[in-house]
Amino acid sequence: MNKMNVAILGCGTVGGGVATIIREMNKELAERSDSEIVLKTIVEINPEVASERFKLPLDLFYGGGKKLSVVEASEAIDEIISSEEIDLVIETIGGTSDFIHNICLNVVTSGKHLVTANKALLAERGTDIFETAEKKGVKIGFEAAVCGAIPIVKTIKENFTGDKILSISGIMNGTSNYILSRMQNEGLGFKNALQLAQESGYAEADPALDINGGDAGHKIILLIKLAYGIDVSMNDLSITGIENIKKEDIEFANEIDAKIKLICYAKKINGDIFATVKPMMVKNSNFLSGVNGATNAVRVNTKYSGKHILVGKGAGSSETAMSIVSDIVFIARYGKKMRNTAARQTVNFVADASKFVFPYLITFHTADLPGTTGFITTAIGSRNINIDTVSHNRHNGEKATFSVATMPCQLEQIETAIGKIKTERPGILLSEPKVMPILY
Residue 339 has pLDDT above 80, yes or no: no
- Above 70 in pLDDT, residue 141? yes
User: What is the overall mean pLDDT for the chain?
Assistant: 94
Question: Quick check: helix, strand or coil at residue 233?
Answer: coil
Residues 58-116: pLDDT tens digits? Answer: 999 999 989 999 999 999 999 999 999 999 999 999 999 999 999 999 999 999 999 99
Instruction: Give me the pLDDT at residue 273, please.
Output: 85
**For residue 230, what pLDDT band results from cuts at 50, 70 and 90?**
confident
Fold of 356-439: Alpha-Beta Plaits (3.30.70)
What is residue 345's predicted lDDT score, i.e. its pLDDT? 58
CATH 3.30.70.260 domain residues, the chain = 356-439
Question: pLDDT-based confidence at 233, cuts 50/70/90?
Answer: confident
Does residue 5 sit in helix, strand or coil? strand
Q: Give me the helices (H) in 5-143, please.
A: 13-24, 26-33, 47-54, 70-82, 98-109, 119-125, 127-136
Higher pLDDT, 229 or 213: 213
Predicted local confidence at residue 344, as pLDDT: 58
Q: Are 52 and 23 a contacting pair, CB within 8 Å?
A: no
Low-confidence winner among 27-41, 80-94, 344-358, 398-412 (lowest mean pLDDT): 344-358
**pLDDT score of 347 more than 60:** no
pLDDT for 346 equals 55
Q: Tens digit of pLDDT for each residue in 373-396?
A: 999 999 999 999 999 999 989 988
In order, the DSSP letters of 367-407 are E--TTHHHHHHHHHHTTT--EEEEPPPEEETTEEEEEEEEP
Q: Specify the pLDDT at position 48.
A: 96
Q: What is the pTM (predicted TM-score) of this model?
A: 0.93
Q: Where are the beta strands (DSSP E) in 92-231?
A: 113-116, 140-141, 165-171, 230-231
What mean pLDDT do residues 279-284 have?
A: 98
| Nearby residues of 106 by Cβ (< 8 Å), 6 or more positions away | 78, 81
pLDDT average, residue stretch 318-344: 85
- What integer pLDDT is reported at residue 272 of this predicted model? 82
CA dist 248 and 401 (Å) reads: 9
pLDDT at 269: 84
> What pLDDT score does 349 carry?
58
Rounded Cα–Cα distance for residues 249 and 311 (Å): 26
Confidence of residue 145 (pLDDT cuts 50, 70, 90): very high
Count of CA atoms in the C-beta half-sphere (13 A) of 330:
23
- Residue 198 clears pLDDT 80, i.e. is over it: yes
Give span(s): CATH 3.40.50.720, the chain: 2-148+318-345
152-311, CATH topology level? Dihydrodipicolinate Reductase; domain 2 (3.30.360)
Q: Domain 2-148+318-345, what fold?
A: Rossmann fold (3.40.50)
Which residues, at least 6 apart from 131, have a Cβ–Cβ distance to it below 8 Å? 342
Question: How many CB atoms within 10 Å of residue 94?
Answer: 17
| pLDDT tens, position by position, 85-94 | 999 999 999 9
Delimiting residues of CATH 3.30.360.10 domain(s) in the chain? 152-311
Mean pLDDT to the nearest integer, 202-207: 89
CA-wise closest residue to 200 among 102, 85, 316: 316
**Cα–Cα distance measured from residue 57 to residue 68, given in angstroms and rounded to the nearest whole number:** 16
Asked whether the beta carbons of 34 and 106 are under 8 A apart, the reply is: no
Mean pLDDT of 206-232: 93
Cβ neighbours of residue 184 closer than 8 Å, sequence gap 6 or more = 250, 253, 259, 260
* pLDDT reported for residue 139: 95
CB 233 within 8 A of CB 157: no
The residues annotated as belonging to the active site are 219
Calculate mean pLDDT across residues 396-406: 94
Percent of the chain with pLDDT over 90: 85
pLDDT at position 62 is 96
